[in-house]
Amino acid sequence: MQKLIFKNSGPIDNFITWIERFKGDISANSLVIEIDPVKEMFISKTYAGDHSLVRYSQISFKDANLQVTSKKLSIEGQSDAELSERVFIGIYAILPKFIEVLKTLATSKSFDLTVNYGFADVKGKQMLCAESVCFKSKSLKMKVPGSSIEVINLIPMPDDIFFNKVWVAPDPVSITLSADLIKNIISISDIFAVSDKTKNFMEFYTKTEDVDGVETKVIYCKDPVNESYDYLIGPTTEPTELQKDFRIKVYRYKFLLAVSNAIDETTMTVSSSATSRLLIDLKGGDTKTIIAGIKD
């Protein structure tokens, strides 16, 4: 068994907040964390059971305040060998408990986080998977078992597949959403929302309007079923003459999940030629969420 050892270099609040982005309905509290020792990043890609919502997020070791103290490999005759492949931590249905462990250790001024890992067969492919994640401070030791990635049923999606086939929007139309604008969309759509979340929908669409004497492409959000609201969000970011009109319907609760961590400007993008998905990009580009559109 190999070990990848981290030591906190300060408060790990950012790391905890990053993991909390996956808590709840967006992941069913199951998660695979990818540790990239070369890029020095924690990465995760998760999706709803029906794949209608996909989230990608990353945080650097530096921003997480977790410094690698040892990534040496125990290989006979290779004393200088270092880890260069990604290590995968499987967390099955206990993500809230994993977060509580982190919060408990975060009260310590100094602690070690050790990932014990080895090769495991995942759908016929050998991958480096965590057998356990151990925490140790001056006064406390805690251990979280690693879960089989196959059991979790979250086989990690390669980065190139995500960025070249999933996070795509041909002929894109985008708009920048401020935190206040997101709050308005949520509160307006909530007025007539019913308790059954699968019966609440939102429709985003574009049309050309005269804005201060200039023909401008703008985006609206409406209730497509009961027509209880029709809210002008604002102008798109691309030149009007380059855009086609689009119309896309999504579940309201999935939009809320996608923007739940938006504390600043967020970019929403839709393909005007293939309106099958809504792309939500939180400021900084470290968290991206795709919502599948609903076919009528």
Q: Considering its fold, how many domains does the chain have in total?
A: 2
Q: Tell me which residue of 264, 198, 254 sits closest to 24, measured CA to CA.
A: 254
Model confidence at 92: pLDDT above 80: yes
> Last residue of some domain: 134, 163, 192?
163
Residue 74's pLDDT band (boundaries 50, 70, 90)?
low
CATH label of the domain that carries residue 23: 3.10.150.10
CATH label of the domain that carries residue 254: 3.70.10.10
Q: Report phi then psi at 266, rounded to 5.
A: -130, 140
Q: Residue 201 belongs to what domain range?
A: 172-292
Q: Report phi then psi at 197, rounded to 5.
A: -65, -20
| Separation between Cα atoms, residue 23 and residue 99, nearest integer Å | 9
> Last residue of some domain: 119, 134, 163?
163
**pTM (predicted TM-score):** 0.89
Q: Answer yes or no: do 141 and 194 share one domain.
A: no
Q: What is the crossing angle of helices 13-20 and 95-105, to 10°? A: 170
Q: Answer yes or no: do 93 and 133 share one domain.
A: yes
Q: Answer yes or no: do 83 and 60 share one domain.
A: yes
> Last residue of some domain: 163, 196, 227?
163
Q: Answer yes or no: do 205 and 223 share one domain.
A: yes
For the stretch 142-195, pLDDT in tens is 999 998 887 767 788 899 999 999 999 998 999 999 999 999 999 999 999 999
Q: Answer yes or no: do 144 and 239 share one domain.
A: no
Q: Answer yes or no: do 159 and 179 share one domain.
A: no
Model confidence at 256: pLDDT above 90: yes
What DSSP assignment string belongs to 90-130?
EE-S-HHHHHHHHHHHTTSSSEEEEEEEEEEEETTEEEEEE
